[in-house]
Amino acid sequence: MKNFSRIVGISTICAFLFLGFATKASTGETTTGTTIAYTGSLLTYLTTQKSSISSSLTTTYTKLYAAFAKTWLNILKSVDYQSLVCLGAIKSDSLLSQLQKDKTALTISFQKDFIDLENQIWALEDKKDLQDDDNVNVFDAGTTYESEKARLKDLIDAKIKLYKEFITTFESDYTTKNTNFLSTFLQYSVANKDLVKGIQDKMAKVQSVLDAFSGVETTVNKINAKVTGLDDLIKKMEDTKLKGLNGLDKTLQPLIAANIKTYKRLQNLSDELTKQKMYVVGEYQLDFDEYLTNNLQSRYNRSQFLALKDEVNSFKAKFYTTTNQLNCSSILSATDIWTALSGKIATMKALVDSWLAKIESGGISTTFKDQLYSGFQSLYIQKFKQRYAEYITYLKEYIKGALRNFVATLNPTTTTTTITTGTTTTTSTEKLSTVVFTKPFTSNQYSPDIKALQNLLTTIQLYSWAIDGIYNKATKNAVYQFQLSKWLLVGYEKRPATWWWMGPATRAALNNLTK
């Protein structure tokens, strides 16, 4: 055992592992007790002995591994075993892993010794060639080529005998270790029965969550099989949407350039027309998104499922390592974090079941996909014309108001009031509202305060429509222009639903104009 421990513990270079193992290992032949004749060639004798030892080691390891696999592989996967590891009753470095490590160490040591013997044989042959060529005795006193050859053969035989003993001891030791482990494992399982059961109960709840989500995935896979080509259709519509947005932007830009050139004396005309262009393009995008929401996502919105899938994967990672072993620290400290997730999965199951029912009843079919894209193309053209017309109307009204303001600055009256909004200075002979705005208005709401708001926005040249007290689209657009001029939409550029909302910051800025 001392020699065995010494060999196993050697730290060596990784030479060619398992050289010559395959031939006899594949047949199951063992050559431990075979006598190999010496024919006079040391290299041939060494190679033959090396193959014999390699085959013997491989055969022994294969037999041990097969015996271990019957019990160990199942044990390693069991919650019982992993629970005992988490409780510290059993080391995580399994006996099967030790078997593999010791076999590798023994093989490396064996390869190293035989490489060393081969080098000594080549050195001896080099000396003989030198002596034969130069007729000079290169051997030490009292030694000859033949005596050195005999010495090396004895050394080879001693190494072979030693490694045969190592292999026998290796097999005996691990057969005993396997028997002892099984007995010890059963004893530990009984001794820690209650603690193991606590972990098993937690893992059963974890597994129930994973199994429930697996059922949801199965339904989603059925849906995916029934809506083949839907992904390509959605991408096609997204590409069309981007093309439309870019097209509207490029169509409006020449109008801006032409009017800036025509009305050179109107200050900030470029900024105002560009801001309005961004607003109109944003509205065009909302048209498309609303269409997809109303016509597709109500039937099949996979984004909800994918978000839940990410949450389930994070949940699993808390309790299992990448090698599917228990994450001991998480499982031992876990409290009830599965109930809430189980509820979400149940809700998602009901949703995907409803999707599947709609699809199976013709909700999403080839005809539906054709109709979906046809409607999208129609919307593409219709809304393009509508948003373009809206911009033309705004552009005309804005320039008309800006020209009136410009003329007023050339012919001031004695009762003028100057109001500065951002970098724009406007002059009016009307008084600003004395109303204090304390709450936001909703779409199409009527209020006398909205009349005051419309008057205020008219005074600062942002509103040129009827003073009717209705929070209509034209009024909301004027509020949006005011928000832009005061830089109140920083951080909300991609949230169009907030652009016209009279929140605290917007109300404060409007109220400041009346002080």
Report d(CA 36, CA 30) in Å as an integer.
Answer: 13
- Are the C-beta atoms of 277 and 253 separated by less than 8 Å? yes
What integer pLDDT is reported at residue 25 of this predicted model? 33
Residue type for position 415: T
Q: What is the pTM of this model?
A: 0.37
**Quick one: 59 exposed, middle or buried, by C-beta within 10 A (0-12, 13-18, 19+)?**
buried
Residue 420: C-alpha distances to residues 427, 480, 509, 510 (Å):
9, 17, 12, 12
Report d(CA 25, CA 58) in Å as an integer.
Answer: 6
Report d(CA 361, CA 350) in Å as an integer.
Answer: 17
Name the residue ranges covered by the structural domains of the chain.
2-191, 206-402, 412-513
What integer pLDDT is reported at residue 182 of this predicted model? 78
* Segment-wise mean pLDDT, segments of 10 residues, the chain, 515 residues: 33 29 34 57 90 91 83 70 72 73 90 92 88 80 88 92 93 86 77 77 85 90 73 81 90 90 82 89 85 67 82 85 72 80 91 80 66 81 89 86 70 43 43 74 88 88 86 90 84 74 88 76
Return the ∠ at Cα 214 (arms to 210 and 218), rounded to 5°: 175
What integer pLDDT is reported at residue 193 of this predicted model? 78
